[in-house]
Each structure stands twice: as structure tokens, then as C-alpha cells.
Homo-oligomer: A and B are copies of this chain.
């Protein structure tokens, strides 16, 4: 297991709890089991299976390149980070040139996965899938395998599926959030957290995300301690880019992404432009005398 952040460390723990022998590497001495990738490779008897769980982009690509030099034919690399699926075929081809196998796996579940199990979507060759199945079985939630694991397709399919999963996640989160806001916008609802908690069982909108929101509202009923500036990760953007390429309309997922973009703006140039246009309707003289409120209240009719 390379990368012992919140995800990698939790996965190491879940694998060990299932009886697997796991050696973890991380540059942080306080969490790593070995001093280097070289030491990691040396500590395992071939054929080795190495799970890469490091930040997407160059860190992951660099790790794969390093493994191409360190590993030997018949080893298997499983890339489980939040990488863009377009990285996978190049990774796989680099490793295939050395006889090393490759799987890409989308992993979902957050820090809760350590105890609940992780949802897994894998891309790659069937023989590699079969070989790694004991690992997948240990990581996925209890219950039928097909409810927590899928072989989604060839190399890249795992990360593509995870990308779409996260795009959906954006839409779901925004839907609950909009409903929450509307509930808070009326005095009629006297206990918003109680209403959302009552949706936990039996209703059509029950879900794990709802459970998390109920939990958050229990800890902070007005969500007052939180900023409304919301980051986005790569997957939401990639989902939208893929949809553009394939001419798939994503009105909800794009709206959810844009709401995050907007949330982070200190000032919106676009809305200043709208304000400027409204201003211009009024011509040069923008200081309007406030009219008295008479019986017929006849003043100040602004018609565009």
C-alpha cells in the first residue's frame, strides 16, 4: 500500500483486519512501515501486488513510473486514487512494457470505509481482477460481492465509473442542500433538523448522504460554524467535460458544480456586469429623489 493518508491508512487497517499481510509506504515516518519504495518492493515476495493510493495527477504518475523500475514481470499494480481515467491507459502501457499488470480502481466511502467497507469499481483485464479479488473482497462492504464491487470494463473503466459516481454525488448533495435552504426560509418549519431526521427511514429520499446531513445538523443545528465556500475536486469538472465531449446534457450536475464555483467568489464579475446594466437603464442620473408616499403613491414607477 503506497500512500497512507486517510484513505490508504484506513484500507491498510481493513485489509489487516481481514487477515491480509500489508506493508505500507508513506514519506511520513510516523505512519510508514518501510523507508522507501525500494524497501517496499524488497519486503514483498514476487509476484507482488502494489496498491497505489496517492494524490491524483503527477504524484500518482510519478509513483507508477517508479514502480515500473522497481517491480518485475508478473507483479500487479492497482491504482486506487482519484485519477482521471485518461491517465490509466498510459500507466498500463508503461507497466505492460515491463510485464507488469495494471488495474484502476475507483474507491468510494471516505473515512467511513474502514469500518463500513469501500465501494469498488475496477477496470482492467479479467485475469488481474481474479488475482486481486481477495483484496477487493476484504475492502468491500459485507454482503453480496456485486453490491460493493464491479468489474466496470477495460483499463480506465474503474476511474471513469468513479468520476461519474462523484458527479452524481455533486448533484445529490446540492439537491439536499437546496431543500435544506428552503426549509430554513419559512417560519412554518419550527425544527428543520427534526424534519430532515424524520426522512431517515421510510421516505423516498433516505440515503447515506442524508444520514450525514442529519448528523451535521445534530452537531450544529444552524450549520453556523461552517463557511459557505465549497471546494470542488477534479471529478466534478471531469464529469462535465466528458459530458460536453459526448453531448450528454447534465443540467443538474453542472448546476451543482457551478454553485460551488459561485460559493467561492468574493465578488462576482458577472453580477457586477448585471448590476452595471441595470444601472445604465437609469441613465446618468442615478441619485433618485425618494418620493413621498401619498394616497395614490404615484411616484417612482420604474419600468424597463
Contact = CB atoms under 8 A, between A and B. Distances in A.
Nearest to A244: B237
A7 interface: yes
The 9 closest A-B pairs by CB, nearest first: A27-B294, A171-B175, A207-B207, A119-B203, A150-B198, A216-B276, A119-B202, A108-B203, A110-B281
A279 to B, nearest CB: 7
Interface stretch (A15-23, A91-99, A127-135, A153-161): A153-161
A153 B4 CA distance: 46
Given A166-B304, A269-B223, A150 B191 contact: yes
Chain A, interface residues (CB within 8 Å), range? 35 or more
B209 A277 contact: yes
Contacts of A45: none
A89 B204 CA distance: 26
B82 A181 contact: no
B63 A275 contact: no
Contacts of A229: 271, 275
A162 to B, nearest CB: 8
Contacts of A294: 27-28
B276 A59 contact: no
Interface string A133-165: 000000011010011111111101100110011
